[in-house]
């Protein structure tokens, strides 16, 4: 495994606003960050540009075969599922939609494996539906830290609520508290 620390973030409706707030509060983390936002192919590049304006870390659109690096942020492209092999190499595919979406948070999170000498965190932010609940359960089962956004700071409380209902969330936090938790884990 090439990357020891990894954070996988899932979001949907209201995600850009919440992610901008979150990343404006974060220093360069000692972790690679992968974002799976329910997004279309025509919007993903502008999403990267918007997030880059507030992030201290470089933000890029994930590409097939990319080896992810600590201190960098990767956005799953619109219309493609993202998986990681060995928690470090990006693979993209246009397989069937999962939870009626592609990219799917569940698909990305379920590809994560038990880290060797590192730490994994899964974060579910604002969004409609239940995508991410299965994935966040997987993250918890392999020893990862699980975080869901609270109802008060979520634009739509569907995805974080579904994640919380698994009973496997370590922390239910506001956007500001999520930033603080990520700093304490990976700062």
| Residues 19 and 53: beta-carbon distance below 8 Å | no
> Per residue in 118-168, pLDDT tens?
999 999 999 999 999 999 999 999 999 999 999 999 999 999 999 999 999
The structure's pTM equals: 0.97
Q: Is 174 exposed, middle or buried (0-12, 13-18, 19+ CB in 10 A)?
A: middle
pLDDT at 168: 98
Query: Per-residue pLDDT for 43 more than 60?
Result: yes
pLDDT at 116: 83
Containing 163, the helix (H) or strand (E) segment is helix 158-164
Is 124 in a helix, a strand, or coil? strand
Q: What is the dihedral of CA 160, 161, 167, 168, to 10 degrees?
A: -10
Rounded to whole angstroms, the Cα distance separating 30 from 9 reads: 15
Tell me, yes or no, if 131 is annotated catalytic.
yes
pLDDT at 1: 44
Tell me, yes or no, if 38 is annotated catalytic.
yes
Mean pLDDT, the chain, as a whole number? 96
Q: Which of 44, 70, 131, 137 is catalytic?
A: 131
Q: Which two tokens stand for residue 2?
A: 């090439």
Task: For residue 174, name the pLDDT band (cuts at 50, 70, 90).
Answer: very high
Could you give the domains of the chain? 6-186 (3.40.50.180)
pLDDT at 3: 55
pLDDT at 117: 84
- Which residues make Cβ contacts (< 8 Å) with residue 4, sequence separation at least 6? 70, 115, 116, 117, 118, 119
Nearest residue to 34 (alpha-carbon basis) of 1, 69, 78, 80: 69
| Residues 156 and 130: beta-carbon distance below 8 Å | no
pLDDT over 90 percentage in the chain: 95
Q: Which of 38, 72, 81, 138 is catalytic?
A: 38
> Per residue in 54-84, pLDDT tens?
999 999 999 999 999 999 999 999 999 999 9
């Amino acid at each position: 495994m090439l990357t020891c620390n990894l954070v996988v973030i899932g979001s949907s409706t209201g995600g850009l606003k919440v992610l901008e707030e979150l990343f404006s509060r974060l220093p360069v983390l000692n972790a690679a960050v992968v974002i799976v936002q329910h997004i279309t192919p025509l919007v993903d590049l502008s999403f990267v540009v918007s997030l880059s304006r507030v992030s201290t870390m470089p933000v890029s659109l994930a590409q097939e075969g990319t080896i992810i690096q600590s201190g960098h942020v990767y956005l799953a492209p619109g219309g493609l599922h993202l998986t990681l092999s060995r928690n470090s190499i990006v693979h993209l595919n246009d397989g069937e939609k999962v939870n009626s979406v592609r990219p799917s948070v569940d698909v990305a999170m379920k590809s994560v494996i038990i880290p060797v000498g590192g730490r994994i965190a899964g974060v579910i932010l604002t969004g409609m539906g239940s995508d991410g609940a299965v994935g966040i359960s997987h993250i918890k089962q392999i020893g990862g830290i699980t975080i869901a956004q609270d109802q008060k700071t979520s634009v739509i409380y569907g995805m974080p609520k579904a994640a919380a209902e698994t009973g496997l969330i370590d922390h239910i936090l506001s956007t500001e508290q999520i930033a603080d938790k990520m700093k304490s884990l990976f700062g």
